[in-house]
């Protein structure tokens, strides 16, 4: 067997949260008896996209003898699991995601242009959503999801959609997004996930929308650092929103 890079899991650290399972586009990982396991080393490409999603730092890349990465076997495996690729369009919500949460599966959100049929005033004044991808929370996104590839990606702080009433039309329209809080979230894990995202996606551009509060500035720094670590040179734009809902 060849000596190559392969993922290794520290079971003592692993708490079975399933974030690595969601981050592995090849389907090489699975939660078994409350711990993440490599179901087949031939499915693991050794690139480590799964590492950024681990809040316990339980994964690492090692070099050792291992079966060669088998891309065709991965395709067959994903097909057997109901995937046509790294992107999955939501059609059947009855199947559970590997972590046991069906709402965490990557999916394209199909636009619904026709409003509801209740006919009341609130129904007629409804503003359609511009959301095109799911999930959006940084802990749950999969960097290899097809909707991020070669796209104009929006990275927003959690509070922005609440402070800025026109968020969907002004910022979200036509962009896949990632959302998180640089104050409350694990910044190192966030940085690792963003780095993996930019490596995988090779985005055309990144638009960062943050609040005017000081803690939000770190989100811009993380995006810049992640772009540098990923070796990408896509333009990064930043917009700051005030607590009063105005663009600063």
Torsion of CA 62, 28, 196, 207, to 10 degrees: -170
Q: What's the pTM value of the predicted model, to 2 decimals?
A: 0.58
Q: Of residues 109 and 148, which shows the higher confidence score?
A: 148
Q: Which domain-ending residue is among 46, 80, 114?
A: 80
CATH number at residue 67: 3.30.70.20
What pLDDT band is residue 54 in, cutting at 50, 70 and 90? Answer: confident
Let me know if residue 112 belongs to a domain: no
* Percent with pLDDT over 90 in the chain: 50
The parent domain of residue 219 ranges over 128-241
Indicate if the alpha-carbon torsion angle 77, 148, 241, 225 is positive or negative. Answer: positive
82 vs 96, more confident: 82
In a domain, 91, yes or no: no
Query: Could you give the number of structural domains in the chain?
Result: 2
Identify whether residues 56 and 151 lie together within a single domain.
no
What band does 38 get if pLDDT is binned at 50, 70 and 90?
very high
Q: How far apart are CA 131 and CA 114, in angstroms?
A: 15
Residue 90 has pLDDT above 50, yes or no: no
67 belongs to a structural domain: yes
Give the residue from 173, 179, 25, 154 showing the smallest Cα distance to 88.
25
Q: Which of 40, 60, 80 is the last residue of a domain?
A: 80
Enumerate residues 6+ apart whose C-beta is below 8 A from 151.
175, 176, 201, 203, 204
The owner of tokens 């009063």 is 244
Of the ranges 18-27, 106-115, 168-177, which one carries the lowest mean pLDDT score? 106-115
81-90, 138-147, 167-176, range with the lowest pLDDT: 81-90
Evaluate if residue 89 carries a pLDDT over 70.
no
Where a domain ends, among 80, 97, 120?
80
Q: Is residue 13 assigned to a domain?
A: yes
Is 31 inside a domain boundary? yes
Mean pLDDT computed over 206-226:
92
The CATH number of whichever domain residue 194 belongs to comes to: 3.40.50
Is residue 103 one of the residues assigned to a domain? Answer: no
């Amino acid at each position: 067997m060849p000596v190559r890079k392969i993922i290794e899991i520290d079971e003592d650290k692993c708490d079975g949260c399933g974030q690595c399972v969601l981050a592995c586009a090849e389907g090489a990982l699975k939660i078994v008896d409350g711990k993440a396991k490599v179901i087949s080393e031939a499915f693991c490409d050794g690139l480590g996209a799964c590492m950024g999603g681990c809040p316990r730092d339980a994964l690492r890349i090692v070099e050792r003898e291992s079966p060669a990465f088998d891309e065709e076997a991965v395709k067959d495996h994903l097909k057997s699991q109901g995937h046509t690729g790294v992107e999955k369009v939501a059609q059947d919500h009855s199947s559970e995601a590997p972590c046991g949460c069906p709402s965490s599966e990557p999916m394209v959100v199909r636009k619904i242009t026709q409003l509801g049929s209740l006919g009341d005033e609130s129904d007629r004044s409804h503003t359609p959503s511009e959301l095109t991808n799911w999930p959006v929370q940084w802990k749950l996104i999969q960097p290899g999801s097809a909707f991020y590839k070669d796209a104009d990606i929006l990275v927003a702080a959690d509070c922005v959609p609440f402070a800025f009433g026109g968020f969907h039309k002004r910022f979200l329209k036509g962009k896949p997004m990632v959302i998180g809080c640089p104050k409350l979230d694990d910044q190192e894990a966030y940085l690792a996930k963003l780095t993996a995202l930019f490596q995988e996606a090779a985005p055309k551009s990144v638009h960062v929308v943050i609040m005017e509060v000081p803690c939000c500035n770190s989100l811009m720094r993380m995006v810049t650092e992640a772009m540098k670590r990923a070796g990408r040179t896509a333009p990064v734009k930043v917009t700051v929103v005030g607590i009063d809902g105005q663009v600063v």
